[in-house]
Structure 1
Amino acid sequence: MRNFCVLIDEPTAVSALLYACMHVYKHAYGAQLFSTITISHDSSASPETSMGSEAPDPAVAASVPLVRLNHVSFQCTSVEKSVDFYRRVLGFELIKRPESLNFNGAWLYKYGMGIHLLQRGDDADGCSIPTRPLPAINPMGNHVSFQCSDMAVMKARLRAMDREFVVRKVWDGETVVDQLFFHDPDGNMIEVCNCENLPVIPLIVASTPGLPELLPPAMQTNVHG
């Protein structure tokens, strides 16, 4: 158990936030983070962190004025094939692109986010990309993930469209998350999951001497259509 001192400008608001975080941590892990928390305007106080006696970097601690994910962008060998994939498989809708974009591409939108497709080998860059086989589906690779309200329906949809996918499950205590991984026409990885089952529990850096322990490997199954 440790004492924790923090310098702040608004003691009342931040104290409530700190105690709320402690409550979440204690509920999740059955342990208390600190025996006491000191909240002070006094610049002579010495904040203690797991990294030493240095105060937090103001640039890191400052609020970041971001709101949400706007879009992801993919280069594709065929804009038409990729548009067909994202419309039929994932339900996206075509939207108007700005007139100033003088190269081949398409914009799609659904679920509060956009997908911007850019044609590889378009006249704008003067190069051509040869067709190559899709890589193996690897859930550990870079991917975009979509929250799904009915995994059984999505799995049946992929089978009906004869799309290869990988089924994966991950556990956290009694919580189970189902995942489906598959490729778009250019090998970009797509995940569909019911990840809302996992609670979002903030990790307080000052109390964590190292990274969390790795969980056991998740169960994975390859499915062909």
Structure 2
Amino acid sequence: MPYHHLALAARDIKKTHDFYERVMGFELVKVEVAPVLTGGWGKHFFYRMDGDDTRFIAFWDLHDVPGQEHFDYDLNAAGNFPPMTNHFSFSVANKTELQVKRRDWLDEGLNVLEIDHNWCHSIYTSDPDGNAIEFCTTTGEFTAQDRKHALATLDLEEFQPSPEPAMMKLWEADK
């Protein structure tokens, strides 16, 4: 079952809007204004991805919410996780489209980590709140052996690393 939307709070909705609409290429299509259960109110912004009216990324712009001054908007920092543990991955059709996205991010002054994971190829950067963002294309097929290994890994209790990525490179933007 596909998801409908992923919703996150944003520290600065104007920076978030600029990033997700202009840089990521998503389109703001709807805003709901509603009370917040614990007090205060919020504007809930919905961005359509690739013209698809069934899947969105959404952001809350919160106002007058108790404790708001202590919110941490970076999901990994908030959960005390290593960087990039929690991240959002958006699909692209192929490596050519992935390279276009990489160039777009670099042109925006964003550093980009590129990894060929041997079964998918990804690029990563961060949004204005520090959340890790990924574009990814699947490059391999899944076999019965892959499934068998995945199920066996559920019980894995010691470090047995996957094969090294075929390629990993940090692309630094010209500042």
Question: Scaled by the length of structure 1, what TM-score is found?
Answer: 0.56
Alignment coverage as a number of residue pairs: 148
Q: Structure 1's 138 and 223: CA in aligned 2 closer, same or farther, altered over 3 A?
A: farther
- Give 2:47's aligned amino acid: L
Secondary structure at 2:47 match in 1: strand
Q: Is the 8 A contact 1:79 1:105 kept in 2?
A: no
Which residue does 1:222 correspond to in 2?
Answer: 170
Deviation at 1:167, TM superposition (A): 1.1
Q: Is the 8 A contact 1:77 1:129 kept in 2?
A: no
Which residue does 1:56 correspond to in 2?
Answer: none
Unaligned runs of 5+ in 2: 36-40, 155-159
Which residue does 1:83 correspond to in 2?
Answer: 17
- 2:113 and 2:19 map into 1 onto residues whose CA distance is 18
Secondary structure at 1:152 match in 2: helix
Deviation at 1:86, TM superposition (A): 0.4
Secondary structure at 1:81 match in 2: helix
Deviation at 1:138, TM superposition (A): 4.5
1:110 corresponds to 2:35: no
- 2:33 and 2:8 map into 1 onto residues whose CA distance is 19
Unaligned runs of 5+ in 1: 1-66
Which residue does 2:141 correspond to in 1?
Answer: 199
Q: Percent same amino acid among aligned pairs? A: 20
- Give 1:79's aligned amino acid: I
Which residue does 2:87 correspond to in 1?
Answer: 143
Report Cα offsets for 1:64-100 as digits up to 9, x if no partner. xxx3111111111101110110001211111223454
1:74 corresponds to 2:8: yes
Secondary structure at 1:87 match in 2: helix
RMSD: 3.1
Which residue does 1:160 correspond to in 2?
Answer: 107
Runs of 4+ in 1 over 6 A off after TM superposition: 130-135
Report Cα offsets for 1:145-184 as digits up to 9, x if no partner. 1111312211111111111111111115xxxx32101110
Which residue does 2:157 correspond to in 1?
Answer: none
- Give 1:192's aligned amino acid: F
- Give 2:137's aligned amino acid: N
Q: Is the 8 A contact 2:90 2:134 kept in 1?
A: yes
- 1:159 and 1:98 map into 2 onto residues whose CA distance is 33
Which residue does 1:3 correspond to in 2?
Answer: none
Question: Which has the bigger relative contact order, CA under 8 A and spacing at least 6?
Answer: 2
- Give 2:99's aligned amino acid: A
1:170 corresponds to 2:111: no
Secondary structure at 2:118 match in 1: strand
